[in-house]
Amino acid sequence: MNSAIDVKFNADMIVNAMSVDVEDYFQVSAFEPYIQRSDWSRIPCRVENNVDVILELFDRHRVKSTFFTLGWIAERYPSMVRRIVAEGHELASHGCEHIRATTQERNEFFQDVKKSREILEDTASVAVKGYRAASYSITSENLWAHDVLAEAGYVYSSSIVPVKHDLYGIPAAPRFAHTVAGGRLTEIPVTTVSLLNRRINCGGGGWFRLFPYAFSKWALGKVNRAEGQPAIFYFHPWEVDPEQPRIANVSHKTRFRHYLNLARTHSRLDHLLSDFRWGRVDQVFLKRDVNISS
């Protein structure tokens, strides 16, 4: 049974949670039909330079964030991972090789999340408490994943988008943080706003690039002021990299979703970091005195 974390906070005091899904441009799920994992090691990576850009942006705004990082990345760029931690950010798991949880059996998923946590902890010498599934691939069909994450030692997950979408989502899921796995794990869904009886993603990714910034500012403000809840926002290092190589022969839908407004992301993030208060996921959602109600 899910338990909603039923509490509101003073809007003026709300700190929202900023997060980064650390994967490179060629590792996104949309490119799976075009790029084999066996080829990843032969493709020039851009993630290290892009994370440098993000760290500089966060430092300028004095923002601490959570970096959901692939084990594959951590093994190849350990100094980058250690820099993330040294600068005060939270390190969390994004799995080993960006394999969607919906394609894994229970034991495969357990081995993946266990291994990725071990890689990150060994690399940075910090405890890893959080997990985010590749492409938000915890759905109504594999809710057992929450139990597995608790068994693997995780404290929270941010792996559900409470909307209807062709690739992911649980439309009826709670919109805000709630406990799962018999109270052993906190699930923190990507933030949505209710508009005309529909839920619209306002928590980052392609939606942040699609909608004008004014919409994102309004929507996140509504979640903070009208609903008294902290938001959780995410983006990827490749989204601040408009010069990244273009993958040939992809579908029109994939091309649109991946490359839309990349040149505008950095400036929009600059505004977002100024317009709201931001912190790490663990510090925003795990250190509050809350009332748990079924």
Decide which of 228 and 168 is more confident.
228
Calpha distance 261→127 (Å, rounded): 36
Tokens of 8: 């509101």
Give the count of domains, the chain.
Answer: 1
- pLDDT grade for 233, boundaries at 50, 70 and 90: very high
In a domain, 195, yes or no: yes
237 SS3 class: helix
Query: What domain range is 178 assigned to?
Result: 3-288
In a domain, 293, yes or no: no
Q: pTM to 2 decimals?
A: 0.93
pLDDT given at position 196: 87
Could you report the per-residue pLDDT of 46-63, keeping only the tens digit for each? 999 999 999 999 999 999
In a domain, 269, yes or no: yes
Answer for the pair 21, 68: CB distance below 8 angstroms, yes or no. yes
**Which helix (H) or strand (E) covers residue 90, if one does?**
strand 90-93
CATH of the domain at 131: 3.20.20.370
Could you report the per-residue pLDDT of 188-227, keeping only the tens digit for each? 999 999 988 899 999 999 999 999 999 999 999 999 999 9
In a domain, 198, yes or no: yes
Question: Cβ of 184: how many Cβ atoms within 10 Å?
Answer: 14
Among residues 153, 154, 107, 147, which one has the least CA distance to residue 132? Answer: 154
Could you report the per-residue pLDDT of 98-151, keeping only the tens digit for each? 999 999 999 999 999 999 999 999 999 999 999 999 999 999 999 999 999 999
